[in-house]
C-alpha cells in the first residue's frame, strides 16, 4: 500500500471493444482493483481505484502512478485521489516504459489467458478476467 500503478487496455468482446482498467500494488505485484466498461473514461479508472482503496482497507498516503491519459488527468479522477489522500505520479509523455509493471501485467493477461479471437460477450470477458486476477494471477 505504498505505490500503486494503473493503466487501461482494450479487450474484444464479440461485436465491440471493451476497456479494462487495473490498479496494481507494486510491492505485491498483484492487482488490487479493476473495472470494465465500453467507455475508456474517468468513470472506468475511478471504479478501479475505488475497488483498490476499499479492498486494501482505505489506506492514506499511497502514491498512484499512471500515464498521462485523459482518464487519469480528469478533474473527477484527481478529486478522487485528493479525497482518498493519494498522491499522483505520471509517466513522461508518450513513454510506456515508465509504467512497465502495468504493461507486463497486460501482456501476461493477453498471452496466458485470453483467447486469440477475444471473447464472445462482455459478460464472458468480465467473468474470465476476474477468474484470471482472483484465481490465477493472485495465486502465483
Residue 134: the pLDDT is 92
- The domain locations on the chain are 3-101+111-139
Residue 56: the pLDDT is 96
Q: Which residues contact 97 (CB under 8 A, 6 or more apart)?
A: 103
Please return the burial class of 56, using the count of CB atoms within 10 Å of its CB with bins 0-12, 13-18 and 19+.
middle
Strands 3-12 and 63-66: parallel
Q: Which residues contact 6 (CB under 8 A, 6 or more apart)?
A: 21, 22, 23, 24, 45, 48, 49, 64, 65, 66, 72, 102
Instruction: Kindly state the average pLDDT of the residues 104-112.
Output: 93
Angle at 54 between CA 47 and CA 70, to 5 degrees: 30
Instruction: Kindly state the average pLDDT of the residues 27-40.
Output: 95
Instruction: Kindly state the average pLDDT of the residues 14-36.
Output: 96
Candidate ranges 72-76, 112-116, 134-138; pick with highest mean pLDDT = 72-76
CATH topology (fold) of 3-101+111-139: Nucleotidyltransferase; domain 5 (3.30.420)
pLDDT band at 129 (very low <50, low <70, confident <90, very high): very high
Prediction pTM value: 0.92
Instruction: Kindly state the average pLDDT of the residues 4-10.
Output: 97
Residue 96: the pLDDT is 56
pLDDT in tens, 46-95: 999 999 999 999 999 999 999 999 999 999 999 999 999 999 999 767 66
pLDDT band at 140 (very low <50, low <70, confident <90, very high): low
HSE, side-chain direction, 13 A CA sphere, residue 83: 10
Amino acid at each position: 500500500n505504498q505505490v500503486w500503478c494503473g493503466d487501461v487496455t482494450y479487450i474484444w468482446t464479440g461485436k465491440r471493444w471493451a476497456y479494462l482498467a487495473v490498479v496494481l500494488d507494486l510491492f505485491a505485484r498483484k492487482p488490487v482493483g479493476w473495472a470494465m466498461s465500453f467507455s475508456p473514461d474517468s468513470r472506468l479508472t475511478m471504479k478501479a481505484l475505488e475497488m483498490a482503496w476499499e479492498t486494501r482497507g482505505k489506506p492514506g498516503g499511497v502514491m498512484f502512478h499512471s500515464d498521462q491519459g485523459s482518464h487519469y488527468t480528469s478533474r473527477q479522477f484527481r478529486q478522487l485521489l485528493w479525497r482518498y489522500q493519494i498522491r499522483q505520479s505520471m509517466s513522461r509523455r508518450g513513454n510506456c516504459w515508465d509504467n512497465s509493471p502495468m504493461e507486463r501485467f497486460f501482456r501476461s493477461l493477453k498471452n496466458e489467458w485470453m483467447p486469440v479471437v477475444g471473447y464472445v460477450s462482455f459478460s464472458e470477458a468480465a467473468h474470465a478476467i476476474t477468474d484470471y486476477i482472483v484465481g490465477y494471477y493472485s495465486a502465483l
